[in-house]
Structure 1
């Protein structure tokens, strides 16, 4: 039985602990996230002007900052409030940003968050090197913590992300099954969510059991996040997404709803989907036709059900996390809020 089929059965409630509101979460982390932004800017300073220019451009593009948010909440939920959480928050955002730069080059993306992508503005060659610089700078910052556990987590993360990108490149235009899909999105997305949570645990110096709980939360949340991203890519509007709709299909990527429809469609429907994946455009088969096939088989709702199940599994994994003080309790309530935000968003 596939991973998704197991998790969609999770229906029970998480905890008697109330879930925070969006305002409560924002009030709790607003100052810390601002500090992370400043630290990112400080760490991305270089004598080579183009590196600074690209880093500033990427930082000004906004983004959800969900990875540093997770690290901050993880550390706070365990009672750690030292400055290291700000530095490592910048580290995970730098790693994420470097990954986006390289992804846009590989995908030949023209836009990112409604703006020209960095590779469009500066060219692929400069952006490859700027992405490499961000990777190295993030490790330099992490090295200053003098914590082998942190370095071990970041090295394992980077290896998984690179392997995930290479695996995805091998599979572009080809049909994959759910097991392969979940392996890819774990490597490319959920691993960074998992490590962001584990870094908070590493700073707090908690035992391995608690670290595993937080890592499981991050893994499940990351899977939910990517599944929702993939559904939004299929059904969203370019103005909302900040990039062309159905970019995944245009790049030859089969995501969960598409895999579900391929397994249940008629011969003609499967051939239509295969055509789009092979052509990497909607010249012979229209986007609307693919959406009709997906809706006809309940494939979009199937994917969203899987995302909601992973979100609930994330909550379940930290339901009994010890609370050191009132501030830790507020952070835990905020972590219980994040899965709902992930599944309910429209971009």
Structure 2
């Protein structure tokens, strides 16, 4: 590939094509269980698409630091399985009907079976990771899983409350950015990187993950249902205050704060409409503010790679924050 700056998702995909195909094959093998229901649910989830961002980050980190091989494929599948397990549990907790434009697994198989399938996926991820025979890998994955579960519990505790910005960043680190950061660090561990290099790519992953979730939360408020593949403003209807909403709560009038709190209390838009909330966010410049924070994290992620040797893989990683901030769903 040329040394021109990588500017499109297609070029990044070309860079990783063979690896990503191998990860899909690995995921197919890992989804097989002697219990047919688990295999059916795991296959349904795998076929649901997704951008495979987390395995891609692991691959790019390992390649940038000079490593390639079946170990990266295995661990790429592991981080995707962990991610998928969290989505299954999230949908059950949130009572979600749709995921990526399709019925969520729990609407087809029911909550009981899906809770257990999510648990099975977690354990399968650890079983595959165990093949590495690397305690550092297991330590990272255990820490990650604990953070993610703690994030879900914290979010449930804070439902219906207008949390502070600091609480919001802590929540989205645990729920999303921790997995981005761990994916990068696992790539570094495979490559036998120095502690400093592992820390740098971890900072990159954290910052990209925070930007990703902030944009995700903004899109939940501003995109159309067709684009999202789920109802608009579902976060707020579920009692979750995200960054733009927090900003309007902190900077709006008493009446605006009251309107936001009413939706959080009601868990519906019966008394305050989605459009009224949108108008409040626009008046306070809250969406613009949230996107500016996402931009700041995107820049922070690029800065984290300054000391890394130049390569197509580094250029791909430098492009990822732009993709994250500019995406439409």
TM-score (norm 2): 0.98
2:251 is aligned, of 264, 267, 289, to: 264
Counterpart in the other structure of 1:295: 282
* Structure 2 counterpart of 1:139, from 104, 120, 126: 126
* Equivalent in the alignment of 2:182: 195
Q: In angstroms, what is the RMSD of aligned CA positions?
A: 0.9
Q: Deviations over 1:11-56 (max 9, x none)?
A: xxxxxx9641223212101121111111011011101000010011
2:63, 2:141 → 1: CA distance? Answer: 20
2-side partners of 1:130 and 1:246: how far apart?
28
Tell me the residue number matched to 1:24: 11
Superposition map of 1:70-85 within 5 A: 70-85=57-72
Deviation string for 1:98-117 (max 9, x for gaps)? 00000000000000000000
Please state how far the C-alpha of 1:163 moved relative to its aligned partner: 0.3
CA distance in 2, matches of 1:277, 1:237: 21
Answer whether contact 1:19 1:336 (CA < 8 A) is retained.
Answer: no
For 1:175 and 1:249, locate their aligned partners in 2 and report how far apart those are by CA, in whole Å.
10
1:279-318 correspondence runs (5 A): 279-318=266-305
Per the normalisation by structure 1, the TM-score is 0.93
Distance 1:149 1:58 in 2: 28
Alignment of 1:85-124 (within 5 A): 85-124=72-111
Give 1:337's aligned residue: 319
Native 8 Å contact 1:234 1:246 kept in 2? yes
CA distance in structure 2 between the aligned counterparts of 1:31 and 1:243, rounded to whole angstroms: 32
Answer 1 or 2: higher relative contact order, Cα 8 Å, separation at least 6: 1
Q: Which residue of 1 aligns with 2:172?
A: 185
Q: Is 1:241 aligned to residue 219 of structure 2?
A: no
Q: CA deviation at 1:174?
A: 1.0
- Which whole-Å CA distance do the structure 1 matches of 2:21 and 2:46 have between them? 12
For 2:160, the equivalent position in structure 1 comes to 173
Residues of 1 paired with 2:257 and 2:144: CA distance? 35
Deviation at 1:319, TM superposition (A): 1.8
1:263 shift after superposition? 0.6
Q: Name the CA shift for 1:321/1:18 in 2 (closer, same or farther; >3 Å).
A: farther
Distance 1:243 1:84 in 2: 35
Determine the C-alpha separation between the residues in 2 that align with 1:170 and 1:64.
Answer: 30
The alignment of Structure 1 onto Structure 2 pairs a total of residues equal to 326
Q: 1:57 aligns with which of 44, 48, 70?
A: 44
Instruction: Please point out which of 292, 316, 321 is paired with 2:308.
Output: 321
**Distance of 2:230 and 2:314 partners within structure 1:** 34
Question: Partner of 1:10 in structure 2?
Answer: none
Cα separation, 2, equivalents of 1:177 and 1:117: 31
Q: Distance in 2 between matches of 1:266 and 1:96?
A: 39
Q: Runs (4+) of structure 1 moved beyond 2 Å?
A: none
